[in-house]
Structure 1
Amino acid sequence: MDYQIKAFKIISILEAISFLLLLLVAMPLKYIWGYPQMVETVGMAHGVLFILYLIASYYMYEKLNWSLKTLAIVMVCSVLPLGPFYAERKYLPS
């Protein structure tokens, strides 16, 4: 497997996990139990991974000759909790 595709898959998985951690663990800790520290840490990691995911998506658009529609779908997947898992499985070669 090409190392750029493998790198995108790793970024995609990490971005999705960080988003789920933010939504399902860090946010309840902050708003239900009053512990905002995890939101700061997980939120920063997620932000960095989100930006990396968007940059890597554009790189994959060029490398794999995706259509603009495919690029748009993959980028929209970045704001859906399980979206990067879907994008990785649907649009990347095995």
Structure 2
Amino acid sequence: MRNALIRYRVMAYVVGVLLIVLTCVGMPLKYVWGNDSVVTATGIAHGWLYMLLIITAIDLGRRARWSWLRLLLIALAGTVPFVTFVAEHYATKDVKAKLAEDAAHPAEPEIVSVDPQH
């Protein structure tokens, strides 16, 4: 789960930064000065990397046993500037708490009985 968290966090930061650049730099350049080069470059990159964010969020959510509602909210957070960082913060907090709980209470090994008659 630790590696899935790292993958998710990297994608959340990358997608979040691209979305901020797209909305705070690219959109004004396009609609005020008529230059759409930043929108084109960051928009395409954001779109593709957003899909990778969804995949990493689903992977992490499956491992952390999140509800579908939580996964949907995390996915939607990637479409609103700055909210990606908030979602990443709470996701990281939840996963780190689960990792600490798992470390404090390790699962007992399963004892398999071998019955020679069967």
Match of 1:7 in 2: 7
Alpha-carbon shift at residue 15 of structure 1 (Å) = 0.4
Match of 1:23 in 2: 23
Q: Report the structure number with the largest CA radius of gyration.
A: 2
Give structure 1 stretches of 5+ with no counterpart.
none
Percent identity between the aligned chains? 27
- In structure 2, C-alpha distance between the alignment counterparts of 1:2 and 1:39, rounded to whole Å: 34
Alignment of 1:1-94 (within 5 A): 2-92=2-92, 93-94=95-96
RMSD: 1.4
Give structure 2 stretches of 5+ with no counterpart.
97-118
- Runs (4+) off by over 3 Å: none
- In structure 2, C-alpha distance between the alignment counterparts of 1:4 and 1:41, rounded to whole Å: 28
- In structure 1, C-alpha distance between the alignment counterparts of 2:40 and 2:69, rounded to whole Å: 34
TM-score with structure 1 length normalisation?
0.90
Alpha-carbon shift at residue 3 of structure 1 (Å) = 2.0
Alpha-carbon shift at residue 25 of structure 1 (Å) = 0.3
Alpha-carbon shift at residue 6 of structure 1 (Å) = 0.7
Aligned residues: 94
Q: Which amino acid aligns with 2:87?
A: A
SS at match of 1:23: helix
Alpha-carbon shift at residue 46 of structure 1 (Å) = 0.7
Alpha-carbon shift at residue 63 of structure 1 (Å) = 1.1
- In structure 1, C-alpha distance between the alignment counterparts of 2:49 and 2:83, rounded to whole Å: 14
Alpha-carbon deviations, 1:27-81, whole Å to 9, x = none?
A: 1111111111111111111111111111111111111111122112211212211
Q: Which amino acid aligns with 2:28?
A: P
Q: Which amino acid aligns with 1:54?
A: I
SS at match of 1:81: coil
TM-score with structure 2 length normalisation?
0.73
